[in-house]
Copies of this chain bind each other. A is one copy, B any other.
Amino acid sequence: MLSLRQLQVFLAVIETGSTIRAAEAVSLSQSAASNALSELESRLGERLFDRVGKRLVLNASGRALQPRARALLVQARDAEALFRDGGNQLKVGASTTIGNYLLPRLLGEARGELPCERVEIANTDDIAERMLRFELDLGLIEGRALHPDLVMTPWRQDEMVIVAAPSFKGQSLAHLPWIMREPGSGTRSVVEQELFGTLEGVQPILELGSSEAIHNAVRAGLGVSCLSRHVVQQSLQSGELQVLAPEHSIRRQLYLLRHRQRPDTAAVARFLACCPPES
């Protein structure tokens, strides 16, 4: 049976490129690291690195083993963390709307029941990448992540509504002064897709890089926009903003993002018990 330590050395060699630095990284002597690596190779009956000159170059077999080794070590760590104090920590990656608006409210409602967590806000692709590197325990995304090692499961829905200051009244949508997110934003692409028939050819009068900036621009009467209800909820309640054309509201699905090869951490399970999928 191969040992976890051998895999640890194997991965360290990949990352550092040499047995010397790998040994340092896992606090071993160089000879021990070299030994662990050769033992792993002989157990598998296959060289994992090509020895070209004095360099170790990962070969096809090594590349095949790498993701499995990583997954094994992460799962071992997770198993230990199950019971240690660190088992309470949870690193969530959330895309902007979720991280800025939805999640704070959920965490507030379940204060105390939720593990001590850390939320990192980034776009969907970044979150997917960090999930792949096991740097995050759970992703909450608005877009899609297509990597075969990532599993998307429907979580909640987000309603995007067209909002404007109260002065705007029942004009045709296409003639309004639109404010939008920058091209490339997931939010913008959803809006363009869903409202395509209505907004064809419309040029936004303003493009802003964040929902909150747009929110403020709309409150200032600069124009109209289509924003998540969660962003503008307060302004709607206070009457500072109104919903235009409610029939054009967009429902979009929000997803949980998990790594296929990593069972839920204890903390992830607790989080999901508090904020289960609703739809």
Complex alpha-carbon distance, A44 and B76, angstroms:
11
Q: Is A263's CB under 8 angstroms from B67's CB? A: yes
Kindly identify, within residues 46 to 72 of chain A, every residue whose CB is under 8 Å from any CB belonging to chain B.
46, 61, 64-65, 67-69, 71-72
Number of interface residues of A (CB under 8 A): 32
> A67 to chain B: which residues have CB within 8 Å?
263
Stretch at the interface among A78-86, A117-125, A132-140, A171-179: A78-86
Question: A2-B76, A72-B75 in contact; A46/B83 too (CB < 8 A)?
Answer: yes
| A95 interfacial contact with B, CB 8 Å | no
User: How distant is A79 from chain B, measured CB to nearest CB, in Å?
Assistant: 5
User: How distant is A19 from chain B, measured CB to nearest CB, in Å?
Assistant: 19
- Indicate how many identical chains form the complex: 2
Kindly identify, within residues 196 to 252 of chain A, every residue whose CB is under 8 Å from any CB belonging to chain B.
none
Over the window 1-31 of chain A, the binary record of Cβ atoms lying under 8 Å from chain B Cβ atoms (1 yes, 0 no) is 1111100100000000000000000000000
> A71 to chain B: which residues have CB within 8 Å?
75, 263
> A68 to chain B: which residues have CB within 8 Å?
75, 78-79, 82, 263
| A43 interfacial contact with B, CB 8 Å | yes
Q: Which of B4, B45, B84, B260 contacts A4 (CB 8 A)?
A: B4
Complex alpha-carbon distance, A82 and B69, angstroms:
12
Question: A1-B8, A151-B151 in contact; A83/B61 too (CB < 8 A)?
Answer: yes
| A266 interfacial contact with B, CB 8 Å | yes
Q: Which of B2, B45, B83, B261 contacts A45 (CB 8 A)?
A: B83
Complex alpha-carbon distance, A61 and B64, angstroms:
34
- Chosen A-B contacts, 5 in total, with CB atoms closer than 8 Å, are A1-B5, A2-B76, A68-B263, A72-B75, A261-B261
Additional A-B contacts beyond A1-B76, A72-B75 (5; CB < 8 A): A3-B5, A44-B84, A72-B72, A75-B75, A261-B262
- Residues of chain A touching chain B, judged by Cβ–Cβ distance below 8 Å, are 1-5, 8, 43-46, 61, 64-65, 67-69, 71-72, 75-76, 78-80, 82-84, 151, 260-263, 266
